[in-house]
Chain A
Amino acid sequence: MNANNLEQEFVDLLEGNQNILHKICKLYTYDAASHQDLFQEIVIQLWKSYPNFKGDAKFSTWAYRVSLNTAISLYRGKKTKINTVEWDQSFLNIRYEEYNATEEEQLNYLYDAVRLLSDVDKALVYMYLEDKDYAEIAETLGITEGNARVKMNRVKKKIKELLIKKGVI
């Protein structure tokens, strides 16, 4: 296959699977500019290793692994972290106004809570949301299956505590 065909094949596959990248960007970035930044870096990393993609795995499985690796290990990320003080304040305001969050608001708080987690915890959350089993989570991160389970339970507990503390659930 010549270079142009390979490029076209890659572009076609990526266009159809781009939501994998967007979803990872959504967990690892805080604004549209860094979302775009990370998206682009993932595309570059995927393209770099595409010639070695054997096709024996699904493109989507291969793509989410490279994407997570890029977010955890390669993406430089900007210094702008979510402002936890503002986050706390927004919860306080809501409680004073007799909090009655809609599902959409709850989701936004959930996303914000996930964004406060470490890079590794976010990867676990991503794979949990994608319905990956513990064997796959463990294999992707390079830990044992038992530890993946323990870690996942801790992450769930952490998020739940955070939301209970803030009065969201």
Chain B
Amino acid sequence: MDGLDLLKKHWQNDQGFPKINKQEIQLMLHKKSSSLLRWIFIISVIELFIGICLNVKFYFYDKPIVDANPFVLEIFAEVVDVLLYLVTIYFVYCFFSAYRKIKNTTNTKVLLQSILHTRKTVNDYIKFNIYIIIYAFSLEAIRRFLNTDMHDWNLAQSFLYMVFLASITFLFAWFGIYLLKKYYRFLYVRLVNKLDVNYEELERLEQTN
């Protein structure tokens, strides 16, 4: 008899479990879930909220910059602002509609897929915000460059100043992305790693056979 058959023989008659009575079950129904999905939802909503706050901040912060620029740039900045809000609304809609589609009664693969898809929506939103932050930094660098009085400067001085501003922008952007990557690695191991591993195992099975 192989191992599992021995276990199967015992399994059917295994009654050695604590008996949970009706009252205890009733109490459990009203307890808060501590599932991964709930944590993913809470963290995602916080991240979306922070993203929206950042967008609002950039909108107000952008105003004096826009005023100082030529009219074409002003229009460009306004278009970007409108797009920013449309994209944010789109991401929030995608997140909630993906979240609503998660059903614990579907098959395991679809369930894992739908949770990972919901989480990916937020990750894409974060990526989008990183691009916006880089855009804002670049805009600020250009503004500083254009608003600096360079009458007495020679070409080399202007060039050096431009390189300096570009380097600062690059460093800030690099450091911001580095911090975010660290944060995500930390968060991912805790939140989504288990789902990723299980989903990949099911995916691999379909690919290798």
Contact = CB atoms under 8 A, between A and B. Distances in A.
A163 B4 CA distance: 10
Interface of B is mostly: helix
B104 to A, nearest CB: 5
Contacts of B149: none
B107 A139 contact: yes
B25 A66 contact: no
B36 to A, nearest CB: 5
Contacts of B112: 72-73
A52 interface: yes
Contacts of B28: 39-40, 43-44
A71 to B, nearest CB: 10
Given A118-B198, A119-B194, A41 B35 contact: yes
A125 B115 CA distance: 24
Given A69-B111, A76-B34, A142-B110, A120 B103 contact: no
Contacts of B20: 15, 18, 39
B185 interface: no
Contacts of A143: 109, 202, 205-206
B17 A22 contact: yes
B17 A73 contact: no
Contacts of A160: 2-4
B104 A69 contact: yes
B103 A49 contact: yes
B34 A119 contact: no
A49 B105 contact: yes
B79 interface: no
B17 A70 contact: no
A47 B197 CA distance: 27
Interface string B24-41: 011011011111110100
A23 B205 contact: no
B107 A45 contact: no
A107 B6 CA distance: 8
A147 interface: yes
A99 interface: no
Interface stretch (B7-15, B117-125, B130-138, B153-161): B7-15
Interface of B: 2-4, 6-8, 10-12, 14-15, 17-22, 25-26, 28-29, 31-37, 39, 103-112, 115, 194-195, 197-198, 201-202, 205-206, 209
9 A-B pairs with the lowest CB-CB distances in the bound complex, closest first: A142-B109, A142-B107, A22-B17, A74-B35, A129-B11, A43-B28, A44-B33, A110-B7, A47-B29
